[in-house]
Amino acid sequence: MLRLNGQASSNRAFCDRLSRRNFLNIGTLAALGTAGGWTLPSLLQAEAASGVRSSKSVIMIYLVGGPPHQDMFDLKPHAPREFAGPWKPISTKVPGMQICEALPQLAKLADKFTIVRSIVGNQADHDAIQVFNGRDPKQPKPSGGWPQFGSMVSRLLGNAIPSAPPFVSLCYPCTHGPYNEPGPGFLGAAHGPFRPMGPTRQDMVLNGLSLERLTDRTALLQSVDQLRRDVDATMTMSGMDAYTEQAMGLLTSSRLAEALDLSKEDPRVVERYGTGDPTVFIDSNGAPRVPQSMLVARRLIEAGVRVVTLNYSKWDWHGGTNTEGRANNSIFVREQEEFPVFDQCLSALIEDLHQRGLADDCAVVVWGEFGRTPKISNIVGRDHWPQVNCALLAGGKLRHGQVIGATDRLAGEVVSRPVTFGEVYATLFDHLGIDVNHTTIPDNNGRPQYVVSDNSQVLSELV
């Protein structure tokens, strides 16, 4: 997370009261034994030295709280009513593939995505860790913890272009801790996400100036001339100039600022995605229902970001007379509210990526932490169900228009082609050009760690 401010310091403060240690500081990386933080110019220099660049990208959409697979993408219309629920399946553009009748716009685009109906190895409790890094949180972890996917991509590939960070999180903070994305783990804060949304928009403050006010990049660079004159002799002036300018370019890029500014978007496109109020959190502790986050994600990908993560709404729906005062089986009342909005914004994203020629380079994955119980209860509706989960994948030049895996007649157990979180992430790494069988990252103890767990392999059906 980038946090830049102009607090005074006794550590060689310059005339503008901005110390060198505070200037472009991106976290302490204490686990690596550094006395201060790494600077953005030094990170850019290290990434340039790696010589690795790619235009491929990923958007990861977390449906907070666990979406009901049997009411969305794995309906069982012939099951008893207390299992099947009220929704009916409809045919899609792909022969033999059916999804919920409340998702008609997605049904028209079924040839452009894949449904995985058989994700196994889920946790029974709310825990976003597997969604963000594919690792079982109950298994042993290295010192510092496992990095999330975007952090590993940041470490391995760096930024695709100088004016865009490699990893941006559009996730809103949830008051229920397990819903929140994990940190960068043993990679340290330097590879944490850039967070421009919600309360963390304050992270985009540089020496008291908001990003919106940093419009004159040349004047800003002139303001750091004093810093350049005082640079350590260990780095040449030309090197400092190049990487400081690149860092300034990232932070003050009109391209990045405009990507976050939907007033720059065609109003018809904004309307196609739909909008929601980011200050209204569903059921208090989830994420807000903000369809425009998917549009912002697309704009960030266009601006050169490699990985964008976002959390969307609150899917932990239960039955009974809950705090909202609704009748029994209120899960289906919530589905009536949620499904049409979700259908609109996700179909808009998939359609938009294709219309703009981005679909081959940008892969999309949509999922939650577990599925929902097959049997419907008046008390809990569909409760947590770790036995099976579902996901939707789109883009990435993958082989779409198919269903992977299957469940039994009640959507309770996997009966064919079990798929793990690790296999999905192996596929996403492969899309980015990262070989999961040979690529490792050293942890805090210097031990090489593979980027996916349990020797997970790419989903052969997709490639």
Average pLDDT of 341-350?
98
Pairwise CA distance, residues 58 & 309, whole Å: 8
Confidence check: pLDDT of 231 > 70: no
Q: Which residues does residue 39 pair with via DSSP β-bridges, in sequence order?
A: 25
pLDDT, residue 252, reads 54
pLDDT, residue 162, reads 84
pLDDT, residue 131, reads 98
pLDDT, residue 390, reads 98
Cβ–Cβ < 8 Å for 230, 24: no
Mean pLDDT across the chain:
82
Where would I find the H helices in 205-262? 217-222, 225-229, 237-252, 254-259
pLDDT, residue 258, reads 85
Pairwise CA distance, residues 413 & 386, whole Å: 10
What would the pLDDT profile of 387-419 be if each residue is shown by its tens digit? 999 999 999 999 999 999 999 999 999 999 999
Pairwise CA distance, residues 383 & 124, whole Å: 10
Pairwise CA distance, residues 276 & 314, whole Å: 13
Confidence check: pLDDT of 340 > 60: yes
Quickly state the pLDDT bin for 251 (edges 50, 70, 90): low
The CATH T-level fold of domain 34-450 is Alkaline Phosphatase, subunit A (3.40.720)
Q: Report residue 423 as tokens.
A: 């296999």
CA torsion angle 219 222 223 226 (round to 10): 180
What would the pLDDT profile of 83-133 be if each residue is shown by its tens digit? 999 999 999 999 999 999 999 999 999 999 999 999 999 999 999 999 999
Pairwise CA distance, residues 99 & 171, whole Å: 27
Cβ–Cβ < 8 Å for 350, 112: yes
Confidence check: pLDDT of 149 > 90: yes
Average pLDDT of 153-161?
95
- Domain coordinates of the chain in residue numbers? 34-450
Pairwise CA distance, residues 284 & 140, whole Å: 32
pLDDT, residue 381, reads 87
Where would I find the H helices in 26-137? 40-50, 69-72, 81-84, 104-107, 129-133
Higher pLDDT, 223 or 125: 125
Higher pLDDT, 410 or 17: 410
Confidence check: pLDDT of 11 > 70: no
Confidence check: pLDDT of 444 > 80: yes
Nearest CA-CA partner of 395 in 80, 172, 111: 111
Percent of the chain with pLDDT over 70: 73
pTM of the model: 0.81
Q: Which residues does residue 448 pair with via DSSP β-bridges, in sequence order?
A: 442
Percent of the chain with pLDDT over 90: 65
pLDDT, residue 22, reads 38
Quickly state the pLDDT bin for 32 (edges 50, 70, 90): very low
In the 8-state DSSP scheme, what is residue 273?
Answer: H
pLDDT, residue 201, reads 52
pLDDT, residue 244, reads 53
Cβ–Cβ < 8 Å for 418, 371: no
- Cα–Cα distance list, 85 to 29, 94, 332 (Å): 50, 24, 8
Pairwise CA distance, residues 462 & 86, whole Å: 32
Cβ–Cβ < 8 Å for 68, 371: yes
Q: Which residues does residue 381 pair with via DSSP β-bridges, in sequence order?
A: 377
Cβ–Cβ < 8 Å for 58, 358: no
